[in-house]
Amino acid sequence: MSKQYFFATTAKGVEEVLAAELARLGASEVAAESGGVRFGGGMEAAYRANLWLRTASRVLMPLGEFPCETPEQLYQGVLALEWQKYLTPAKTLAVDCNLRDSALTHSGFVALKTKDAIVDQLRDRFGSRPSVDTKDPDLRVNVRLFRNRCTVSLDFSGTPLDRRGYRLDRHEAPLKENLAAALVELSGWDGSTPLVDPMCGTGTIVIEAAMKALRIPPGLSRKEFGFQRWEGFDGPLWNRILAEARQGMLAELPAPVQGSDISHSAINMAAQNASRAGVLDRIALGRCQLAELEPPPGPGVLILNPPYGKRLGEEEALKPLYKEIGDVLKKPLAGYTAYLFTGNLELAKSVGLKATRRMVLYNGPIECRLLKYEMY
Ligand SMILES: C[S@@+](CC[C@H](N)C(=O)[O-])C[C@H]1O[C@@H](n2cnc3c(N)ncnc32)[C@H](O)[C@@H]1O
């Protein structure tokens, strides 16, 4: 049998961080590409990746790749794959599609054509066809068209991996869980020193940091992964991986993790989210204005994700807040390193300090920066 490869997707700018995570998990032939990381291994590697990857969005299993410039090429390429291995008429399916720099430009059409080829093949074979369920399918198929090359994959994860299941409440512009985890990774924080988020909103950064330091797998509180409904799902292997993960979890954080926010309701939501994530009694959460921040003794890491205003006029109104951030960072915070995540470089100038490192990351379509400030 030829060797199986997988592809873990992530936000642009996070590929190297994800590649490092995969290498630590013991995946083989790890190679970062645009938008994700390719890796090799068997089912066990894919199960582990789904449970453990903090910065990935999905784990895909490519079934086939072919040149594709026309609807007919797409249809024939999908038809050539052996769908009866994965689907029967009794199962439901959904097709997701990502397109870039290709002759076919309508993702809805590409998804529809792919679905047509799959169900036509199965109808020819079984006399009836599986139906489509876009919300909760038994099998999610992913089509990626990039520069007229089409990759058709099975989506191992089902619901994207950033939806850990702990965050139900929404406040002002929450970060996706896997992006928050990427900020923690990019800050270089290893869990052995304090981590502080003084604008924590719904708590995503501190919750992700605490889960990392406590060695809680990010997928532990998920109800289900896509692969658990597949033909041939290896239940005993999965249970062994889960049991191993539970055994390795720590009871206490090695160093404090602290989140605060000016908003009462944000702190309430952060507490509820932290409770669902199983870390509430391990982290410190409280209402506090940035200007009154009192971090634990350093060295440590400070991560700030202030609002960055998408509409005209908001930028002006937010300048004083960015100036206040600068004032806080100019205070003696002995041994702390600060990271500011923002989608607005104009506003970042109001901080009035020179960043020693600038990392480009995407929050959805918004080009953002993670700026590093050393404090003396
Ligand atoms: C973009 S949101 C942070 C989102 C957060 N990372 C999350 O995932 O939910 C910015 C937060 O800064 C808070 N904030 C604004 N001004 C503040 C201030 N002066 N002091 C502390 N927090 C402030 C807001 O209440 C808001 O929750």
Q: What is the pLDDT of residue 2?
A: 57
Q: Is the CB of 162 under 6 A from ligand 1?
A: no
Return the ligand 1 atom nearest residue 289 CA: 20
Cα 233 to middle of ligand 1, angstroms: 42
Quote the CA–CA distance of 92 and 130 in Å, as a whole number: 5
Please report the atom of ligand 1 found closest to the CA of residue 201: 27
| Residue of 169, 172, 264 with the most ligand 1 atoms within 8 Å of its CB, for mutation | 172
Instruction: Give residue 306 CA to ligand 1 midpoint distance, Å.
Output: 5
Query: What confidence score (pLDDT) does residue 219 get?
Result: 96
* C-alpha–C-alpha distance, residues 369 and 344, integer Å: 8
| Cα–Cα distance for residue pair 135/273, rounded to 1 Å | 24
pLDDT at 339: 98
Q: If you measure from the C-alpha of residue 56 to the centroid of ligand 1, how many angstroms do you get, rounded to a whole number?
A: 24
DSSP 146-206: ETTEEEEEEESSSS-TT--S------SSPPPHHHHHHHHHHTT--SSS-EEETT-TT-HHH
Q: Is residue 10 in contact with ligand 1, taking CB distance under 6 Å? A: no
Closest ligand 1 atom to Cα of 263: 25
Would the CB of 273 count as within 6 Å of ligand 1? no
- What is the rounded CA–CA span in Å between residue 201 and residue 172? 7
Ligand 1 contacts CB of residue 289 (under 6 A): yes
Ligand 1 neighbour 268 (Cβ under 6 A): no
Alpha-carbon span 145 to 68, nearest angstrom: 8
Nearest atom, ligand 1, residue 204 CA:
8
How far is CA 243 from its chain centroid?
Answer: 24
Task: State if residue 290 touches ligand 1 by the CB under 6 angstroms criterion.
Answer: yes
Whole-number Å distance between alpha carbons of 69 and 72:
8
Q: Rounded to two decimals, what is the model's pTM?
A: 0.94
Question: Which atom number of ligand 1 is nearest to the Cα of residue 307?
Answer: 1
pLDDT < 50 stretches in the chain: 1
- Ligand 1 proximity of 172 Cβ (cutoff 6 Å): yes
User: Does ligand 1 lie within 6 Å of residue 305's CB atom?
Assistant: yes
Mutate to test the pocket of ligand 1, among 262, 269, 325 (most ligand atoms within 8 A of CB): 262
H/E stretch holding 274 reads: helix 264-277
Whole-number pLDDT of residue 374: 87
CA–centroid distance, 43 to ligand 1, in Å, is: 41
What local confidence, expressed as pLDDT, does residue 263 receive? 96
Read off the pLDDT of residues 218-262 as tens digits, 9 standing for 90 and up: 999 898 999 999 988 999 999 999 999 999 999 999 999 999 999
DSSP string, 78-113: HHTS-GGGT--TTSEEEEEEEEESSS---HHHHHHH
